[in-house]
Structure 1
C-alpha cells in the first residue's frame, strides 16, 4: 500500500492555494464593485440639475432679445439667451394654458388624453388631463434618482369631492361644496404624478377661482371667503381685467403670487442641496406672469416706462435673474440646465393695449394671439442655458415644441423612452449642443392645436390649418376688427400658407396648391390615427459625452 502522507500534503497544498485564489477573487469582486459604484457616481454627476421656468401668456415679442422694437428691456433673460441658445421657431402645443401644460408634463398633444381638444379648468374642475398611466416628466426623472418639485400654477385639472363623495365639476359656486377631508390628499395632484414636493394653485393663480394654495396635496386654508375684484389695484383703469370674483382662502395673496412661488422653489433647491448634495434635482417654476389680470408686486410698479404689463414682465425678468443668481450662490451654475418657455401667445386685450398705448407688439409681428391657430397664438420664446455644456450665443431656427422638452431631458440623462410615452416629443439636445446641421430639421413635422382643439400642422415652411379663420378668437367683435386680414380664399374650409414666402399668413393657398394641401391633410390624418408623431425606438444622444 502506498503511503498516505504525500496525498495529505498535496491536499493541504491545494486547500491553501484555493483559499488564496478565493481571497483574490473576492478582492477582485470588491474592486469591481467599487469601480462600478464609481462609474455610477460619475454617471450621476454627469446628470445635471434641471430647472424649467414656465411662463404664462408671454408672446414671441415680449422679450427684448426677441423683439428689437420692444418698449422695454428684459436684461436677465437677454443674458440667459446670450449664455445659451435661443430658438426662433418654438411653439406651444396649444394656444391655451391647460392643454399646453399637459404637453409639458406628458410630451404629448392634448388629444392623446381627451380625443380632441381640451379647455382650461375653472373652479374645482377635473379630473386631471394627466391620467394614471401617463408617464410624466417628473416621474421619468424621479425614476432616474432625481428629487422633483413643482411650484406655481398647475392647471391640468384636479379631482374634488363633495360631502357625498361625488366628484365636483367646474364652476365658481361649486368651490363651496368641496369636502376637503374627502378630497385631500389629492388623488391626481402633482405628488401623484411624479413630484416629491409641490406648492401649487389649482388654476390660474389670479384669474380662475378657486383661490387656494395646495402644498403636497393638502389645502392648509380652505376657500371660504368671497373675493371682490375691486379690492385689488387697477393700474391704468383697465389692467385688472379677468380677475374673477369667486371663493378664496382668507389671506390669499394676489399681488405677490410669483414672488411666493419663487421663494418656495428657492427653499426646495437650497434645502435639497444642503441635505443631499450628491442627488440631482428637477424643479418646475410655473409663473402666472403675464396672464391677466396684470398685478405686478408693489416693488415693480413703475419699473418701466411702458405701463403695468411691462412692469409685470420686468418682474418676471427679475425672478429669472434671482434664479440664476441662486444657482451661482449655491455653486451649481455649471451643473444646472435651465429652460425657459411660454405656454401660448399673449392675451387679446394685452396685445391691443400694448400696441395702442406703448407701440409694443407682444406677438412680435406674427398674425394672431392667444387662442388663435395663426403663429401669434403659439410661436413663443424658448431659451436653454447650461454653462460649459450648451455653447453660448446660439440662435436656432429649428422647429420645436414644448412637448420636445420631455425627450430632450430624457436624452440628457440617458433614458431610452418607451414607445408609448411622450409620443409627440423629439430630442432637441443635439441642437442645443450646436451639433445639429441647421439645414436639417430634427422635426419632419409639428402639430399644434388651437382653442377648440382644431389642428395645425407644419412641414418645413408649409403650414396647414384644418379650419377656417383663427381657430380661436372672434375677430368680428369691436376690439378685434382692426386686426382682420381679408381672406383671399374665403370659401376654403381650411388654410395653407408657405411661411418662407408669406410669414404673416395672408395668402391662403388652399386651392392653388392642391397637391401640397392633400399631402398635409393625409399626413395629419396619419399622425392622429397612429397615436404618435415622434419616432419609435428613441435612444439618448451620446456624442456630447465623448
Structure 2
C-alpha cells in the first residue's frame, strides 16, 4: 500500500486537503435491526444520540451486512467485496492465532484508497480478518486456542498482514473478538507490547444479570488486558488519535475506524453504565454504545470540525441468537426488529442492520431511505466523495450510495439492481427489488430444532424445496416459500446469481466519482 511520505505530504497543499472531509466509521458488533430506538419504536430502551444522528442525517432501512458473521463482513467493509472473492467460498470467524488475513496482498483496502488521497488513517478495536502468527521455527500457526502457546512474538512481529500493512497508518486492535475469542492481546502498530502469558479464567469476570457473561471463553491473555469496558479503551484511543492529529496536522484529513465490541457476547458494560436502562445488561450495553457515538459527535464539535466530518454508523450482522431470545423473554425487546432470523441466519434478521450517516452541511437532515444497500458500498461511496476513480479490479461488490445520501437520487429508482449476501456457511442469498432468493434450505445458520430456538421455528411450506424464494413486499417475515409457485422468478434469480459469481464482480465497471465540487451544501 502506498505510504504518504514526508516529501509527498509537504508537497500537498492545504487547499487540496481542505476540500476533503474527515471520515469516522463506527462499526458495531452483533447489533440487530431492532436494537436502536430510531429503528424500533417498541425498543425496551432509548438510544438518544443515535436517534439524534439519524435526525441530523440519513437513516437507511434496507441496509445489509455482507455476511451473517463478523470476519467475512469485516472483509467486506475493508475491501468492498464479498468474502468469496478472497476465499472462493464462504469464510469463518477466526479464533486463536488464526490467519492469514482475508485481505490478501495487493487487495485495495478502504484505508489504502484514502491514503492515496492524502488521508492519515487509523483503526481501533476489533480487527478479526485474520493475522499471520509464527512459531519458533518460523512456521505459520493455524487457529485454535492451544496454538497461542506456540507463538514466537519476536518472529511474528511486526505483523506482515496487520492493519499497518493493509492501509492504516496507526492501529490499536485485538486480533479476534475482544472478550470472546482468545488470543487476548493488544496489537499496536503491528507489535504486541505485552504477549499473552497466563491462562484466563472467565469465572473471575463479572456476570451481570447472572447469565450475560455467556461466550466469554477461557484462553491465553496478556497481563494488562481488559474485559469489562474494553470499548471505553477503544474510544479513548480513537479520541487521542483525532485530537493529536488535529493538533499536529490540522490541514490533513483523517480517517478513523472505531470497531466496537458492543453488542457481541459476552455482555460486559463499563461499570458506569450498569443500570443505565431498565432493559438489563444488554440494554445497558447498547446504551453505552449510544453514549460512545454521542461523545464522538461532541468531539467533532469541540474541535470545530463538525461540518467537515462525515460519520458513518453500521453493524457487521444481526444480533446473537442467545441475545435475541433472552431480550424477547426478559424485556419484550426484539433485537431483530420484527424480521425472521438473527446472527448466522440468511433470513433478514441475520443481515439487515442499522446504517446511519451524518455530515452536517452536505447531507440533508431527517432523511429516511429505503435504498437497498450493503456495507460493501461504503467503499465506493467514500471513493465518490473524495474523488477517487476506482479501478475495475477493486471493490468489485461496491456501489456508490452518495446520490441517496445527498438527496439527488430518484427515490423510486434503486441504485443497486441486485444485492448479494452470504450466511454462516458461505451460502448465497440474492435480492432483486422485492424478491429474495436463498440458494439453500433452512436458516443457513442457527439450529432451529434446539430447545432455545424451537419456539421461533416456522412451518416450512415447501420442505422439499432445495432453495427459498420470498417476496419481501408482501411477506417481509419470509413465511411463505414461493420456490415452486413462482418458478420463473426463481429461475431468473438463480441465473443472475450464477452470472454474478462467475463474472468476478457485482458492481458496475468504470465507476465515476462525484467529487466534492459536485456535492451541494445544505442548511
Q: 1:500 matched to which residue of 2?
A: 473
DSSP-derived class of the 2:256 partner? strand
2:108 aligned with 1:129, yes or no?
A: no
SS at match of 2:312: strand
Match of 1:544 among 513, 519, 523: 519
The RMSD of aligned alpha carbons is: 1.2
| In structure 1, C-alpha distance between the alignment counterparts of 2:289 and 2:476, rounded to whole Å | 29
1:285 and 2:258 are equivalent in the alignment: yes
Residue 348 of structure 1 aligns with which residue? 321
Match of 2:486 in 1: 513
1:158 match:
131
Between structures 1 and 2, the one with greater helix share:
1
Aligned to 1:254: 227
Q: Deviations over 1:188-219 (max 9, x none)?
A: 00000000000000000000001000000000
Instruction: Trace 1:354-433 onto structure 2 (pairs within 5 A).
Output: 354-433=327-406
How far does residue 38 in structure 1 lie from its aligned partner after superposition?
A: 12
Determine if contact 2:14/2:252 at 8 Å carries over to the other structure: no
Q: Choose which of 301, 308, 332 in structure 2 pairs with 1:328.
A: 301
Distance 2:412 2:164 in 1: 41
Distance in 2 (alpha carbons) for counterparts of 1:238 and 1:545: 50
CA distance in 2, matches of 1:232, 1:314: 21
Deviation of the 1:39 alpha carbon: 11
TM-score, normalised to structure 2, is: 0.96
Q: Does 1:214 align with 2:159?
A: no
Taking the aligned partners of 1:54 and 1:433, their CA distance within structure 2 comes to 22
2:423 to 433, 450, 473: 450
Residue 6 of structure 2: aligned partner: none
Match for residue 51 of structure 1?
A: 24
Distance 1:266 1:116, change over 3 A: same
- Give 4+ residue runs of structure 1 displaced > 2 Å after superposition: 37-44
Q: Distance in 1 between matches of 2:507 and 2:20?
A: 24
Preserved CA contact (<8 Å) 2:371 2:415: yes
Out of 171, 183, 187, the residue aligned to residue 160 of structure 2 is 187
What SS does the corresponding residue of 1:398 show, helix, strand or coil? coil
Q: 1:488 aligns with which of 445, 461, 465?
A: 461
| Counterpart check, 1:272 vs 2:245 | yes
Q: Distance in 1 between matches of 2:412 and 2:102?
A: 36
Match of 1:104 in 2: 77
CA distance in structure 1 between the partners assigned to 2:324 and 2:514 by the alignment: 40
Query: What SS class does the counterpart of residue 349 from structure 1 fall into?
Result: helix
- Which whole-Å deviations, capped at 9, do the CAs of 1:113-166 have from their partners, x for residues lacking one? 000000000000000000011000000000110000000000000000000100
Deviations 1:304-348 (Å, cap 9, x if unpaired)? 001000000010011111101110110000000000000000000
By how many angstroms is 1:40 displaced? 5.7
Matches within 5 A, 1:68-79: 68-79=41-52
Q: Secondary structure at the match of 1:377?
A: helix
Relative distance call for 1:163 and 1:483 in structure 2 (3 A) is same
TM-score, normalising length from structure 1?
0.92
1:522 aligns with 2:495: yes
- What is the match of residue 469 of structure 1? 442
Residue 457 of structure 1 deviates from its aligned partner by 0.1
Q: How does 1:30-49 map to 2 (within 5 A)?
A: 41-49=14-22
After TM superposition, give the deviation of residue 236 of structure 1 in Å: 1.6
| Cα distance per residue 1:346-365 (max 9 Å; x no partner) | 00000000000000000000
Question: 2: CA distance between counterparts of 1:140 and 1:524?
Answer: 28
Q: Distance in 2 between matches of 1:39 and 1:329?
A: 27
Query: Structure 1 residues 54, 255: closer, same or farther in 2, change over 3 A?
Result: same
Structure 2 unpaired stretches of 5+ = 1-9
Deviation at 1:44, TM superposition (A): 2.5
Unaligned runs of 5+ in 1: 1-36
Q: Distance in 1 between matches of 2:302 and 2:29?
A: 27
Q: What SS does the aligned partner of 1:76 have?
A: helix
* 1:160-175 equivalence runs, <5 A: 160-175=133-148
3-state DSSP of counterpart to 1:218: coil
SS at match of 2:61: strand
Q: Deviations over 1:216-265 (max 9, x none)?
A: 00000110110000001111211000000000001211012100000000
Q: Distance in 2 between matches of 1:400 and 1:541?
A: 18
Partner in structure 2 of residue 12 of structure 1:
none
2:362 touches 2:520 (CA, 8 Å); kept in 1? no
Superposition deviation, residue 41 in structure 1? 4.3
The counterpart of 1:117, out of the listed 90, 108, 120, is 90
Distance, in Å, in 2 between the alignment partners of 1:57 and 1:272 is: 30
1:545: Cα distance to partner? Answer: 5.0
Instruction: Assess, with a 3 A threshold, how the Cα gap between structure 1 residues 134 and 39 changes in structure 2: closer, same or farther.
Output: closer
Deviation of 1:107 (Å): 0.1
Alignment partners' CA distance in 1, 2:230 and 2:210? 21
Partner of 2:174: 201
Counterpart contact for 2:328–2:334, Cα < 8 Å: yes
Question: C-alpha deviations, 1:272-322, integer Å up to 9, x for none?
Answer: 000010000000000000000000010000000010000000100111111
Name 2:5's counterpart in structure 1: none
Separation (CA, whole Å) in 1 of partners of 2:391 and 2:119: 19
Cα offset, 1:512, TM superposition: 0.6
